[in-house]
Structure 1
């Protein structure tokens, strides 16, 4: 089963969480070999790879991301799943931070972002998007400073 877009139920749960404090979003992405655009989209027959379509998404979503005051705080290429299903591989992993949950939701509602998301949908075969409450480091390894 692929996970590409959030469900209505998950977005309702997202909105039930505190919306006025910083959040970090862990993104794990697996790309399609070939992008899968809708048949009426201009890029439908271009033969773009999923990675190329995702780059188009990044370029098209950059302005809404900036308007939401989002920032990418870490990016990496997954090499090996050390703990977890061996067949759950990822092409790209990154963490994006937003000043508030409301800022993230505002980005999702931005008309320019809504146009950009078609590239993400065409690019991604499977993904995970995990909302996190940022916390400072604790005194010891694995502590979060909030205990």
Structure 2
């Protein structure tokens, strides 16, 4: 199972850029003993998140799903906002960030990293 984006994935993310901020939905399934490695990755990654204008909006443990097919339960869910897809791309290309990605890769058995676009174009509803 894939846990890291490929170069082709990043190219597609940037090519499909509608502009503006992006919120990345992270669905994580930990490898045995992987939670500690992911927590260390998160601690180290927070520096890069701040440097590239990212913000952790939410992080939580998954619970028993109400509506899901077999195998669709996740151990953790994160929502991370970046000022742009380009900022996300620059962060994951940063040599310092790349040095810590092995912690994330080892921690996960499976992951979904889904970029999202606001329905209202990023404007707040009144």
Q: TM-score range by the shorter chain?
A: 0.7 to 0.9
Larger radius of gyration: 1
Deviation of 1:63 (Å): 1.0
Unpaired runs of at least 5, structure 1: 34-48, 137-144
Provide the residue aligned with 2:44 in structure 1.
60
Unpaired runs of at least 5, structure 2: none
Provide the residue aligned with 1:25 in structure 2.
24
Provide the residue aligned with 1:142 in structure 2.
none
The number of equivalent residue pairs is: 124
Q: Which runs of 4+ in 1 moved over 6 A?
A: none
Alignment of 1:2-21 (within 5 A): 2-18=1-17, 20-21=19-20
Which one of 92, 104, 108 corresponds to residue 88 of structure 2? 104
Provide the residue aligned with 2:113 in structure 1.
129
Provide the residue aligned with 1:117 in structure 2.
101
SS of residue matched to 1:95? strand
TM-score by length of 1: 0.76
Once structures 1 and 2 are overlaid, which stretch shifts more, 73-82 or 51-60? 73-82
Tell me, in whole angstroms, the C-alpha distance in 2 between the residues paired with 1:74 and 1:56. 17
RMSD (CA atoms):
2.2
Q: Deviation digits for residues 46-91 of structure 1, max 9, x if unmatched?
A: xxx2000001101121111111111011222111222232222211
Tell me, in whole angstroms, the C-alpha distance in 1 between the residues paired with 2:2 and 2:73. 14
Is the 1:27–1:129 Cα contact (8 Å) retained in structure 2?
Answer: yes
Q: Deviation digits for residues 71-129 of structure 1, max 9, x if unmatched?
A: 01122211122223222221110100011111101110111110110100110000001
